[in-house]
Amino acid sequence: MARNPLKDQLAVVGVGSTPYGRDLKRTELSLALEAATAAVEDAGLDRQEIDGICGTGMDPLAMGGSGFLTLQGALGIEKTTWQKNGWLGSCFVYAAEAVFSGLCDTVLVVQAYTRGIGMSRSAAADPFRLRSAQLRAAGGHTIVGQSDPARRWIHSGEPYAAWMARYLHDYGATKDVFARIAVNNRTHATTNPRAAMRTPITMEDYHASRVIWEPMQMLDMDVPVDCGEALIITTAERARDLRHSPVYIHAMSLGGSRVGEYYDNSLGWTENALWISLAGLRERSDLTIDDLDLFFPYDGYTIDTVGCIEAAGFCKPGETADLLASGWDAEANIYRLGGHTLVSTNGGALSHGRAGGFNFYTEAVRQLRGTEGERQVPDARTALVCAGASFFHDPASVMLRTD
């Protein structure tokens, strides 16, 4: 017999459907929203009880259409701790496993389809369907506004640069806060044989680096690399019989906000998806940041790390500059949080290399196993990974621990 711990543990409580037609003259999103609102009303739920969404699509970053980001924004659902896109029959299974695992309690699954231009001659003659097919085909998925000259932020670095300026403006910080993050990560990378960038840098090097999107500079940005990372997850019981001392997944949370998928309409600094994800983790974790040996905040841009530090609760919003200055070890050229927590010991995305944050997980596992020789952090037993954390999509907070 196979294990079936979810036996009788889950139930479907609401359903919603739209009319079907060959040409309803509506967007996929419009149809998705009609079904979604009907399902919520059928269940008799308050929509704010929904804390997980499975949208439509094969692409995890599918935006526009009826992907989970667009659905959450369009439905005005404040907070979710689990999101995914899926399709065909498997999306139901994904949603069920999310509830069973405790990453969310009430999940909304929405699937919408529209007749593609390849499906009939009349569909191919519809200018709306044609335009959608042409522009979506280009990148496999559509980042909303990508093809809209009125929405001219094309590269994600541009709005992050704008948020850096907003942060400096609102909190009166100087760019030293970003410089310390860049230097800390580079210093750690010098001892990581896998790191792409191993030449030490100084605060002065940071400030002298080329401006790309003001105020963002070259050394605020992660380093694109070719790389591969993998890991294997099994049950704790099975893990105890294997070769390495197990690294346990203590708690996890994703984060989604009602802003949906736009940077320019993003919520306030302390309301974005990082804060929701880390609050979701706190609610699920027996360990706190006071117990942390290692912290891996996302650092696609240095401003991401500032967000992770503040959202994790190491300091109040706007106080990271002071925190890093007081935790700065001028001899080692690194900082510690709360006097002991080391940050980005692999060098992070800024200096180890851009792996979507997945290299944070593998580094954390190696350090918690205690197998890292000269670069081993003594007695590392806990690690908090915030990988791939955009302000609005995909923030994942994962607490790892060893015995």
Partner 1 sequence: MTGMADAAEVTHATDAEVFAALPAVLIDRDNVEHYRGLLARRLLINRCAACGYWVYPHRPLCPKCWSWDVVPTQVSGDGFVFLCTLVHQERDPDAAPGEPVSTAAVELVEQPGLRYLAPVVNCPPDRVRLDMPVRLTWVDRDGVAWPAFQPSGPIEGGR
- Residues in contact with partner 1 by CB under 8 A are 25-27, 29-30, 33, 37, 47, 64, 70, 73-76, 127-128, 131-132, 135-136, 142, 144-155, 158-159, 161-163, 165-166, 169, 211-214, 216, 258, 260, 262-265, 267
What is the length of the chain?
403
User: Closer CB to partner 1, residue 141 or residue 401?
Assistant: 141
Q: How far is CA 247 from CA 178, 258, 287, 361, in A?
A: 31, 34, 14, 11
User: Closer CB to partner 1, residue 17 or residue 245?
Assistant: 17
Contact 185, 198 (CB under 8 A): no
The residue type found at 380 is A
Cα gap 308→255, rounded to integer Å: 12
User: Closer CB to partner 1, residue 32 or residue 343?
Assistant: 32
Tokens read off for 191? 């001892």
Residue 155, Cβ density class (10 Å: 0-12 exposed, 13-18 middle, ≥19 buried): exposed
User: Closer CB to partner 1, residue 57 or residue 327?
Assistant: 57
Tokens read off for 270? 């302390």
Least distance in angstroms from the C-beta of 218 to partner 1: 10
Least distance in angstroms from the C-beta of 37 to partner 1: 6
User: Closer CB to partner 1, residue 204 or residue 214?
Assistant: 214
Name residues whose C-beta falls within 8 Å of residue 267's C-beta, 6 or more positions apart in sequence.
257, 258, 259
User: Closer CB to partner 1, residue 269 or residue 361?
Assistant: 269
Residue closest to 111 by CA, chosen among 40, 169, 29: 29
User: Closer CB to partner 1, residue 30 or residue 362?
Assistant: 30
Sheet of 294-296: strands edge to edge?
248-254, 396-401, 382-387, 294-296, 341-343, 334-337, 328-329
